[in-house]
Amino acid sequence: MTPALSYVALISRDIPAASHLLGRVLGLPVSPFQTEDGPVPVFSVGRSALALFAPGDRFVDGETRTGLHHIGLTTAGRMPAVTTTGEPRPGLGGGVRQALSITETAGVRVFLTGPLDIAPGASPMIERIDHLGIASADNQAAIKVFSGQIGLPVESQQTDMEVETAIESFTSDKYGVVYHTRPPRVVGGLRVAFLTAGDCELEFLQNFDASHGAELRHGAAGNTRQDQGAITKFIAAHGAGLHHVALKTLDIDATLAALGRSGARMIDTAGRPGSRRARIGFIHPGSFGGVLFHLVQRD
């Protein structure tokens, strides 16, 4: 049996706002789970779950930076060939969890744990977690550990690029108009690798070419160049690691519209092209208390 995603631990500075969007707006079922610092809301999404923690909670090692903190993987008793670190700790909802060495897991905080005692969850808007986006310094190194040592199958790999094409025109009153197209120039791109973990994937995003810079235009709809810029800036500030959560929806435009009507700040108000022939759309992380979410619609 291959490992599967049990849960994702998220740190939010505004748990009521994030819970409202996940539960009331997107319709995901929620259960309270007890930890050392009290109950936390856990949202069932497909066969895995999203757990919301306040900054400084002991379950997330007292971390105060918002975003994705760690993932819990179930291994059905199979120990991966990755070094464990520290003593076993109390798990989410009972049991124990064991940390893997972050120096061996491409910057991703990983705990080995058991499955959560929670029913699979979905809603008319959200089917499951589509993937977890990971800012990657080296996709091949990540594949070596997560596939070769932990045992996650490689779903697919691709390169996303944004190119510019210059067209020159030569207009003459005698010879008419001649158009000349220069070779396309790559202005942004990402190397992408998807590894399956249960009913979702880990998406490793590596900068295609660091010389392209890190373009970010706040308040504007995203594109491939902006996506590359976001990954580049994240790695420069924090190093490789967990970056965002993507939820699979049946109708991305309707779901984005519902979030917008609820008062959520949007990066994309309509679906745009994304990896794996999908349409994607990002919600501003401020809407979820500092956690970056986006939606995915694909077959």
Residue-level pLDDT at 155: 95
Which domains are seen in the chain, by residue range? 4-297 (3.10.180.10)
Burial degree of 141 (CB within 10 A; 0-12, 13-18, 19+): middle
| pLDDT single digits (tens) 156-170 | 998 877 777 889 998
Measure the CA–CA gap between 295 and 284, rounded to whole angstroms: 12
Mean pLDDT throughout 258-273? 95
Cα(169)–Cα(209) distance, integer angstroms = 30
pLDDT tens track for 109-168:
999 999 999 999 989 999 999 999 999 999 999 999 999 999 999 999 988 777 778 899
Confidence label for 218 from pLDDT (cuts 50, 70 and 90) = very low
| pLDDT above 90 as % of the chain | 69
- pLDDT, residue 221, reads 53
Q: Are 190 and 206 in contact (CB under 8 A)?
A: yes
CA–chain centroid gap for 225, Å, is 17
Averaged confidence pLDDT in the chain: 89
**Contact present, 186 and 203 (Cβ < 8 Å):** no
Residues 244-264, mean pLDDT to the nearest whole number:
97
Q: Whole-angstrom Cα distance, residue 66 to residue 291?
A: 6
Identify the H or E element spanning 245: strand 241-249
Give the pLDDT confidence score for residue 210 in this predicted structure.
54
User: Looking at the whole model, is its pTM more than 0.95?
Assistant: no
Query: Does 231 score more than 90 pLDDT?
Result: no
Percent of the chain with pLDDT over 70: 91
User: Do 268 and 279 form a contact (C-beta atoms < 8 A)?
Assistant: no
**Other C-beta atoms lying within 10 Å of the C-beta of residue 225:** 23
Angstrom distance (rounded) from CA 127 to CA 42: 16
Please check whether residue 287 is in contact with residue 21, taking contact to mean a CB–CB distance below 8 angstroms.
yes
